[in-house]
Structure 1
């Protein structure tokens, strides 16, 4: 665990067990140069003797009569540098360290995110606490980073929970905990969902013995003049249904609710930050399982919006739950919607595992989300809503099919979602970056909390134009 503290002390002035000295392309940063002069050139001599070039993430630990020093190579991405540094410091025995702040906010965010662990199901010893003092950082920057990180951590925790623990009911219980932060949370059970006419959502849920839950959250601080509506996919486990997934694809499907987790994490972050706008969240939570009650290929479903859908693939279930959730959000008065979902493997094929696909029905809303993602350090890339591909979704027996052919699958999925709303919609297909298959600069293997930081930047931007 890392705690962050702002200090006016420079590297030359601070009195702590360890000082972290940044190196960029073989050169010390300004505070490092002043410290090195104070040490009569000790740092530069040590670098030369060790052949230390200060490549990104490269480190060199030094000890002298003047103290301990960790030389650390800077990456162009300051968040990634912070994450790597946090992971390095966790392996050392120092209880405190002093770091030159540089770009204080993204560095602080990286330090916190990089130190994240999910080990509640492992035997472990005493948890180490490391106090990091950031030279010349403003306390409000560190406090904001801490609150944003809390939202990301919660989203990661939810994704990392095993599916026998995080059922739809358990996800709803987690959402209810946000009442402690002043949110209004309504959870609809299966009977209430049926009464609303959410036939697509219920069809996906009906194969599981764990009942579905529809979660509606509202963060509404006094005086809010803008509103943001969020929809997140909430499949707490996806077997693929009768279109059964292979083992290697099913192994990470506890994370198929990462979009819903991002919505919850963003709402928690917004409440902690006290953002002055209304935010609503909608999550259709269920499992997609195989049983005698499960929905089938060829079934025709009636959605909340009144449109009918012919099922051609039961593993294209997320778009069915989202269709009802999106239409419900618009019925609740949404002016614009940002939707996040681990929706298609096609998005991963197109953009890899680190970039989310962005689809938008309106250019202004698209640009706002793109800019927010850039500020947040989360990678997104726009793909076209090619209207000609709508032909792939035509059905001879219903208003549409739930899938097209194998080509352009991420696009046809986005086109399907766009059929259920008339207000501006941005759909983020986060199937690639939502779950890391190996450790990375900003965290370990598992849930990444992707989307939380982007949503909070979107929300912040809306407050600035309100």
Structure 2
């Protein structure tokens, strides 16, 4: 990952390959944002006019490169759009700063060092800029960044190597802590992105579990891995039922961070289908190509637990990674089969492509046995949620309205697009089965909500629970924007980490 420093240099004196400044949309044209005063002075106070001549408006996502005048040590100035200029005495929103920094970092691919002179009036603003720049500088490089060939082509495609955050008061404890937090969270998000982007022949349940064990050793986490023999003996019929069609057997991973002074415990449960063919209910052509991303929920849970540990939060966080590969074969689960889930409930499998809820059901039941204060599961669960909310917004369902609202507000706080969704009781009847306690499918309409109702069946009585369906934003197939790359995004990680921070501070929501 790119290196981040808090620099005491000014934008005029910093020795770097480029200086990044912000520009906003004003009522009469582009307006230079705070932080760029030294750069504007080098342009004789005419930077906004020069940018307007070049077609810049200050709109979000816009970037304009221009040669630096003689008053700057850096040879290039990069102006990035911040969107509408705030009203007098107001500040730019943290998400606007985050996205602008990400846009700048992407535009500076192949650059060694850049100074970011964006508005950083407080520690939260500095954190947003740092986080956006570090996430925007991400690039998936098979085999790791260190394995890239040392040639011109590789150098030009290498992510921005060093980010100097200007105006961020490095001697101020609040700014230093905010920057350190940004580095930790961005690092874990980028690692999760790597997992999502890995080819499925490189990441199966066994190798994913091994990655968790490696992280456990590095960060002092307790990791337990149940292999196929232990899963069969333990009665994990959902995970085994999904994974039995593959030559790569399933795993259930428990990865736990504990703090000696913690008063609350959170359980995060992640869907980890390392490749989803649909099983016997095979997906049609055109729907298989990105199904390596069906483990993004487990990647988010994994990253959130490690981030909580690295941040030393005063809360216990246990992650459950329900890992399987869903493949068709002579041993695969068939439509019509009945599975006995962990805890004893039986499920008639009407569609083997509704497999995520099966592995999550087992993991939710097991997580409930430890009686945490709250459980949040994360999953690329339903295409129905994508139809409802689009590609950038995840749905939030819960058995507690206040908790659902709290998670929605937390997602907004950290800049993740989400929307609260209901769990209509009348949909439950559609899953009635003549041969099992219920089926894994119901009526077609409201399919994303019905999946949430299915999961609710496996949550222990009296336990607060929420379900995040990240099927839309977990994997971005279009052109990059802001700090969001093409491919794995790390969706929901920031929300989970902030939930852990709120809980550690005594506010579970």
Q: TM-score, normalised by structure 1?
A: 0.95
Structure 1 residues 195-237: Cα deviation after superposition (integer angstroms, max 9, x where no partner): 2111122111111111111101110022111111010001111
Q: Distance in 2 between the 1:440 and 1:31 partners?
A: 23
The worse-fitting range, judged by mean Cα deviation, of 175-184 and 129-138 is 129-138
In the other structure, the counterpart of 1:460 is: 501
Q: Equivalent residues in 2 for 1:40-439 (5 A)?
A: 40-47=44-51, 49-56=53-60, 57-67=62-72, 68=75, 69-75=77-83, 77-91=96-110, 93=111, 95-102=113-120, 103-120=125-142, 124=149, 125-126=154-155, 127=158, 130-137=161-168, 138-179=175-216, 180-421=218-459, 422=461, 423-438=463-478, 439=480
Contact 1:115 1:443 survives alignment (8 Å): no
Contact 2:63 2:104 survives alignment (8 Å): no
Contact 2:10 2:38 survives alignment (8 Å): no
Contact 2:255 2:319 survives alignment (8 Å): yes
Structure 1 residues 63-108: Cα deviation after superposition (integer angstroms, max 9, x where no partner): 32223433322146221111100011225x4634242342211111
Cα distance, 1:38–1:176 mapped onto 2, change above 3 Å: same
Q: Secondary structure at the match of 1:194?
A: helix
Contact 2:139 2:159 survives alignment (8 Å): no
Q: Distance in 1 between the 2:6 and 2:348 partners?
A: 58
Q: Secondary structure at the match of 1:173?
A: helix
Cα distance, 1:15–1:212 mapped onto 2, change above 3 Å: closer
Contact 2:35 2:117 survives alignment (8 Å): no
Q: Secondary structure at the match of 1:343?
A: coil
Q: Which runs of 5+ in 2 are unaligned?
A: 84-92, 169-174
Q: Distance in 2 between the 1:159 and 1:379 partners?
A: 20
The worse-fitting range, judged by mean Cα deviation, of 135-144 and 454-463 is 135-144
Cα distance, 1:37–1:7 mapped onto 2, change above 3 Å: same
Contact 2:63 2:78 survives alignment (8 Å): no
Q: How far 1:53 sits from its partner (Å)? A: 2.8
Q: TM-score, normalised by structure 2?
A: 0.87
Cα distance, 1:432–1:52 mapped onto 2, change above 3 Å: closer
Q: Secondary structure at the match of 1:465?
A: coil
The worse-fitting range, judged by mean Cα deviation, of 113-122 and 226-235 is 113-122
Q: How far 1:27 sits from its partner (Å)? A: 1.1
How many residues are matched? 465
The Cα RMSD (Å) is 1.9
Q: How far 1:46 sits from its partner (Å)? A: 2.5
In the other structure, the counterpart of 1:445 is: 486
Contact 1:18 1:94 survives alignment (8 Å): no
Cα distance, 1:66–1:94 mapped onto 2, change above 3 Å: farther
Q: Equivalent residues in 2 for 1:15-26 (5 A)?
A: 16-25=16-25, 26=30
Cα distance, 1:191–1:30 mapped onto 2, change above 3 Å: closer
Q: How far 1:11 sits from its partner (Å)? A: 3.0
Q: How far 1:61 sits from its partner (Å)? A: 1.2
Q: Secondary structure at the match of 2:68?
A: strand
Q: Distance in 2 between the 1:309 and 1:96 partners?
A: 56
Q: How far 1:60 sits from its partner (Å)? A: 3.5
Q: Distance in 1 between the 2:506 and 2:159 partners?
A: 43
Q: How far 1:17 sits from its partner (Å)? A: 4.8
Contact 1:214 1:283 survives alignment (8 Å): yes
Q: How far 1:455 sits from its partner (Å)? A: 0.4
The worse-fitting range, judged by mean Cα deviation, of 188-197 and 257-266 is 188-197
Q: Secondary structure at the match of 1:457?
A: helix
Q: Distance in 2 between the 1:63 and 1:141 partners?
A: 30
Q: Distance in 1 between the 2:196 and 2:114 partners?
A: 31
Contact 1:237 1:254 survives alignment (8 Å): yes
Q: Distance in 1 between the 2:337 and 2:43 partners?
A: 76
Q: How far 1:32 sits from its partner (Å)? A: 2.6
In the other structure, the counterpart of 2:172 is: none
Structure 1 residues 33-81: Cα deviation after superposition (integer angstroms, max 9, x where no partner): 4543455334245235435333322313133222343332214622111
Q: Distance in 1 between the 2:17 and 2:387 partners?
A: 47
Q: Secondary structure at the match of 1:431?
A: coil
Q: Secondary structure at the match of 2:20?
A: strand
Contact 1:310 1:398 survives alignment (8 Å): yes
Q: Distance in 1 between the 2:497 and 2:448 partners?
A: 25
Q: Which runs of 5+ in 1 are unaligned?
A: none
Cα distance, 1:220–1:35 mapped onto 2, change above 3 Å: same
Contact 2:16 2:113 survives alignment (8 Å): no
